[in-house]
Amino acid sequence: MTELLTNPLSLLVLLPAAAGLALLAVPVKKTAALKGFALAATLLTLLAALFLYAGFDPAGRGMQLRFTLPWLPAYGINYALGADGISLLLIMLTAVLMPSAVLASFSYIKEGQRAYYMCLLFLEASMMGVFAALDLFVFYLFWEGMLIPMYFLIGVWGGPRRVYAALKFFLYTMAGSVLMLVAILWVVAAHHAQTGAWTFLMPELYGGALTPDAQFWLFAAFGLAFAVKVPLFPFHTWLPDAHVEAPTAGSVLLAGVLLKMGVYGYLRLAVPLFPAAAAVFAPWLAALGVTGIVYASLVAWAQKDIKKMVAYSSVAHLGLVILGIMSFEPAAVSGAVLQLVNHGLSTGALFLLVGVLYERRHSRLIEDYGGLAKVMPCFSAVFMIVTLSSIGLPGLNGFVGEALILFGSFRVYPWLAGAAVSGVVLSAVYMLGMYQQVVFGPVRHPENRILPDLNPREWLYLLPLLIFIALIGVRPAPFLKRAAAAVDNYITLAHPRAAAPWSQNEQ
Amino acid sequence: MNSEPLAYAANALAGPLLLAAAAFACLLLPLFIKALRGTQGVIALSAALAALTFLRRPPMAEIGFFGGTLILNPASAYLWAFGFAVLAVILVLSLARPPAGEDSGGEYYFLLLMASLGLLALIAAGDLFTAFIALELLSLPLYALAGIRRSRPGLEAAYKYFMLGAFGSAATVMGIALLNSVYPDLAFAALMKAGAPEPLALAGFVLVISGFAFKTALVPFHMWVPDAYEGAPTAISAFMGAAVKAGGVIILWRLFRIFEYGPVRELFWWLAALTAVAANLMALAQTGLKRLLAYSSVAHAGYITVAFFGGQRGFEAVLYYLPVYAMATIGAFAVALALEKEERGPAIEDLAGLAKTRPWLAAAMAAFMFSLAGVPPLAGFFAKFFAFSAAVNTGSTGLVAAAVIMSAVSMYYYLKVTVVMYMKPAQAAQEYRPAGAVEAVIFLMAAGVLLAGLFARPVLALAAEASRWF
């Protein structure tokens, strides 16, 4: 039982959850203490995540730092955690984004602060849980449980249309996920029928001999849940509403982490559990991804609201990631995994920057700004770096991921990859266009003349993201190396019979 | 029979006997002893609590009484414990907010205790005829209780409940008569061995099942539910939702497991599917909190029926489901009671701004709603998970798919309550009469739905043990 606390993965789940509960002990009125406590909790979690990173063996294959505690033995349910390179990177991403999200809320959130920080901490616990779960039941528990804090974050502390956005977010995700529950039950029942053992452990369920017909429907059920979460075109309509209405920290975590869960679901569950069906669905999903890239880029181009534009750009970026993981090609999948982190960092930073503007002017419309370079030079410089990272400028993180995905997937889906390039071009068009209108030119509105530049707290929460944006851009190798074994695993599981995935399409 | 089970049986029967004694004490004693007037509730509550102390871990054996008409086994012991606990909680609520006028005698408590006795008898019934008598003992006091306030909504509730309930009882009696013409022995154990039913017996089974489906409130036998729940005193609505349903479920399960396949199975399939679909759709349009909870209770009866298809494992899930569902429902009705300003209970809109004015109450209510909706990590999710898991294991995937889709639909109306509490500003001054006991019940139930899921193992172990005996 002590392992509950000594295992770094378990600690990463329990620490934020316990901190969230402990917040109840802080009086509501003492807002400084509340903020300090929440920040300390996320920093401690980050520290624990660093220990996890240090203890992770980059060369090791399979799940590391495993932890299993029997929970409901009669049903074969274990509280089982473990991490491979993919989960490691996403856990690190979550841990890095959280303190920034908390810091960014200090001045933005004025009412119900205790409940707000509790929601954030519970959300962190469940996000960690999703990435660390090795048991299908535990995975589903965290996957759905996450909806409650996010629902309140959007619905209580969000913008004017928050109720609509929160309901839509909850109902879409729930409706997408319930059939996954049935599919999970089916998989476990089929495994029981075959082996006589009840288990929800993912590694034991991989490679089960399900008929292609059953796999088709099961993949469809899992795939729908994940497609809603990614979100894949045409299941993306909840996303712009949720992102725009959520408070800054909510948008950061939605875009930075929650969207990654959908892709993670494909990587960890849908494809390895049902490889035969995955082979059938992959081209279609890749095509949906590419459709999403083009469609969302065009829609983003037409937006007048910066936050909405960033939201649609997320749909485009995630479409590219889906193209990468559905090509089952090492370079593309590695690129996609790295791109998950990149997107979390750059879109997270973009939402933080939009939040900075909104707190000053209470507007997110592009036309309300202009000429900020003169008024807020530091802000404009940071905004520049993040924008360039988002559109994939070489030397920054976005380039590495996008290039790997495009090169890799070109071998498998030449036409789709070719079409996807248009998205990269379009993203440069709309992002730079927006940047130009906001930052350059004359100061069109007199009230913008007095906007203060970034304050130390804002620097503090932007800096970690900037460091990683630059670091991954210059030296992606350590990150790619850690994910390599997991990516190989994924490709092997996706092609159970093919030993050499590189030669797959030359055959 | 060796002495150990006998000692246990004596112990176990002490509970119901105590309730019976207390029921008459409530009714009669205050007539003679003036000092006892107004203390009937306390008498009833102490009897229920005393009955709880008589609970023991049952021996793994079946003990029949009165020629097998009442059967005591771990399953009935489990549900008796559940029944006593529900009764005690309902009595606390009734004491905190007396539903009947100050001048009324002990008839409220007498009726409530008699209904509970009926429930206990129903749970332990060994044959169909006993089950029917127990059902009447359960129902008749409830008709009166629904209208005990003698106000328009109360009388309407009582009248509807009685008319439709009488129809259900008539169907049951008719069915039993048909069955008896075919089978001389109506004990459940004997019916199990009877083999495939001939048409006359089949008709009998269908009639009996519809009769009990009335009590369990399965669609299309649910018409009385919204009016009865709305018009009855709120504590009684909670009792109907939590306890009465359990009684119906047990008998339906006993009837269900007689058939491995065939038309009766199909009948259950349709009852489950129809209930899950129709109840959730009808709940979407509700504006009154008590009506919403009424439709929600119908929907949950549907999910429970889905679990039947999981066989013994499914019944284990049902035994876990009943207390988890009861906690959330009693809790939600207790919140309605705390905010009640007219007899029909608060409208959902009346909860507006509750998160600001009473944050803890709102948090508890949110927990009940999320639990009823089946969102993890609340206990309601675990209950649904076990129920559906059992049904999928036996191949009823289509039914489960329908049920989970409808449970996603149900999200909408449960969320509506949280939207009103957390995201709407308070309109007028809220009616709130603080009563420590009601709040204590609310928070006890909230703790239950928060913890019973994550720490499901002990309850599940008991349920597994009990499920082997039906």
Q: Number of folded domains in chain A?
A: 2
pLDDT category of residue A258 using cuts at 50, 70 and 90: very high
Distance from C-alpha of B182 to C-alpha of A474, rounded to nearest angstrom: 86
pTM of the model: 0.93
Question: What pLDDT shows up at residue A507?
Answer: 35
> Nearest C-alpha of chain B: how many angstroms from A43?
25
Distance from C-alpha of B298 to C-alpha of B287, rounded to nearest angstrom: 16
Question: What pLDDT shows up at residue B101?
Answer: 63
As for the ipTM of the complex, it is: 0.91
Distance from C-alpha of A358 to C-alpha of B262, rounded to nearest angstrom: 65
- Residues spanned by the domain of B246: 3-467
**Does the CA dihedral A338-A340-A341-A342 come out positive or negative?**
positive
Distance from C-alpha of B410 to C-alpha of A20, rounded to nearest angstrom: 28
Q: Give the residue from A220, A250, A272 where a domain finishes.
A: A272
One domain for residues A151 and A293: no
One domain for residues A199 and A222: yes
Distance from C-alpha of A13 to C-alpha of A130, rounded to nearest angstrom: 9
* Contacts with B462 from chain A: Cβ below 8 Å: none
Which residues 451-470 of B have a C-beta within 8 angstroms of A? Answer: 456-457, 460-461, 464
pLDDT category of residue A501 using cuts at 50, 70 and 90: very low
Interface check B447 vs A, CB under 8 A: no
Q: Number of folded domains in chain B?
A: 1
Report whether pLDDT(A25) > 70.
yes
Contacts of A33 (CB under 8 A, 6+ apart): A26, A27
Q: Give the residue from A255, A272, A289 where a domain finishes.
A: A272
- Give the nearest chain B residue to A164 (CA atoms): B419
The whole-angstrom distance between residue A377's C-alpha and the CA centroid of its chain comes to 30
Tell me what the mean pLDDT of segment B162-177 comes to.
92
**Contact criterion met (CB < 8 Å) for A151 and B415:** yes
Question: What pLDDT shows up at residue B465?
Answer: 86
Report whether pLDDT(B115) > 90.
yes
Q: What is the 3-state secondary structure (H, E, C) of A206-224?
A: CCCCCCHHHHHHHHHHHHH
Tell me what the mean pLDDT of segment B281-286 comes to.
92
One domain for residues A345 and A211: no
Over residues A112-143, the pLDDT tens digits come to 889 999 999 999 999 999 999 999 999 999 99
One domain for residues A413 and A379: yes
Question: What pLDDT shows up at residue A66?
Answer: 87
**Contact criterion met (CB < 8 Å) for A178 and B405:** yes
One domain for residues A268 and A279: no
Q: Is A458 helix (H, G, I), strand (E, B) or coil?
A: helix
Which of these, B294, B300, B447, B289, lies nearest to B363 by C-alpha position?
B447
pLDDT category of residue A496 using cuts at 50, 70 and 90: low
Chain B interface, best mutation among A148, A161, A173, A228, by max B CB count within 10 A: A148
Nearest by CB to B464, from A74, A145, A147: name it.
A74
One domain for residues A341 and A352: yes
Contacts of B321 (CB under 8 A, 6+ apart): B300, B303, B304, B307, B383, B384, B386, B387
- Residues spanned by the domain of A375: 274-507
Which of these, B39, B17, B153, B16, lies nearest to B95 by C-alpha position?
B39
Over residues B345-395, the pLDDT tens digits come to 888 888 888 888 888 999 999 999 999 999 989 999 999 999 999 999 888
One domain for residues A252 and A294: no
One domain for residues A22 and A70: yes
One domain for residues A300 and A201: no
Nearest by CB to B412, from A142, A156, A171: name it.
A171
Interhelix angle B199-216/B245-256, nearest 10 degrees: 160
Question: What pLDDT shows up at residue A7?
Answer: 86
The CA dihedral of A305, A311, A317, A319, to the nearest 10 degrees, is -120
At residue B353's C-alpha, the angle toward residues B349 and B359, to 5°, is 125
- According to DSSP, the β-strands at B70-72 and B63-65 are antiparallel
> Nearest C-alpha of chain A: how many angstroms from B380?
12
* Contacts with B389 from chain A: Cβ below 8 Å: 75, 185, 188-189
Q: What is the 3-state secondary structure (H, E, C) of A72-131?
A: EHHHCEEEEEEECHHHHHHHHHHHHHHHHHHHHHCCCCCCCHHHHHHHHHHHHHHHHHHH
pLDDT category of residue A497 using cuts at 50, 70 and 90: low
Nearest by CB to B423, from A115, A156, A182: name it.
A156
pLDDT category of residue B430 using cuts at 50, 70 and 90: low
Q: Give the residue from A242, A272, A302 where a domain finishes.
A: A272
pLDDT category of residue A504 using cuts at 50, 70 and 90: very low
Residue A138 host element (H or E): helix A136-145
Report whether pLDDT(B428) > 70.
no
Over residues A293-326, the pLDDT tens digits come to 999 999 999 999 999 999 999 999 999 999 999 9
Query: B38 in the Ramachandran plot: left (φ > 0), alpha (ψ -120 to 50) or beta?
Result: left
